[in-house]
Amino acid sequence: MKILVKSIAFLSLIVTSHAAVAACNMDVEVGDALTFSVTQMTVEKSCGNVTINLKHTGKLASSVMGHNWVLTKDTDANDVASKGLAAGLANNYVAAGDARVLAATKIIGGGESTSVSFSTEALTAGGKYIYVCTFPGHSFVMRGTLNVGA
Ligand code: CU
């Protein structure tokens, strides 16, 4: 009986830690086309902190085919992207001090990787969030949905 209890405790530990990794730390790949490898992501508010790892598997430079990952509420995405254009590459196409930007990586080019960590405090469970690439001309096609669970 003692052994059975121990193995159940061990199993639930494995399941719990696996779920936490899947939901709180995620990999997204981009390349020399206008697509994210993942267009639906789910994070749990209970993560506390979420990390997005962005990897550019293409060959083109950041000035030609740069990509970033910028999270906003769904209703803010288009305006955040258009304000970001004016900010330029030096600012990673994200307007300084734009409070509607919930998380953003820098712009990366082929062969580069970056990541961003952000608190889930500002996210509402069940809320609608979109991530876009704000590189000029990319945001209308290069986007995905972030779902927030409890
Ligand atoms: Cu892009």
Stated pTM of the model: 0.85
48 Cα–ligand 1 center, Å: 27
Which tokens in the block code for residue 25?
Answer: 């730390």
Distance CA 44, CA 110 (A): 30
Q: Which residues contact 57 (CB under 8 A, 6 or more apart)?
A: 29, 30, 31, 110, 111
Whole-number pLDDT of residue 3: 53
* Residues within 5 A (CB) of ion ligand 1: 67, 133, 135, 138, 142
Q: How confident is the model over 111-132, as a mean pLDDT?
A: 96
Distance CA 92, CA 104 (A): 9
Thinking of the domain 24-149, which architecture would CATH place it in? Sandwich (2.60)
SS3 assignment, position 24: helix
Q: How confident is the model over 31-54, as a mean pLDDT?
A: 95
Whole-number pLDDT of residue 150: 86
**70-80: pLDDT as tens digits:** 999 999 999 99
**Would you tell me how many other CB atoms lie within 10 Å of the CB of residue 117?**
12
17 Cα–ligand 1 center, Å: 32
Whole-number pLDDT of residue 14: 45
SS3 assignment, position 119: strand
**Which helix (H) or strand (E) covers residue 104, if one does?**
strand 103-104
Whole-number pLDDT of residue 40: 94
Percentage, residues of the chain above pLDDT 70: 85
Q: Parse the chain into domains and list their residue ranges.
A: 24-149
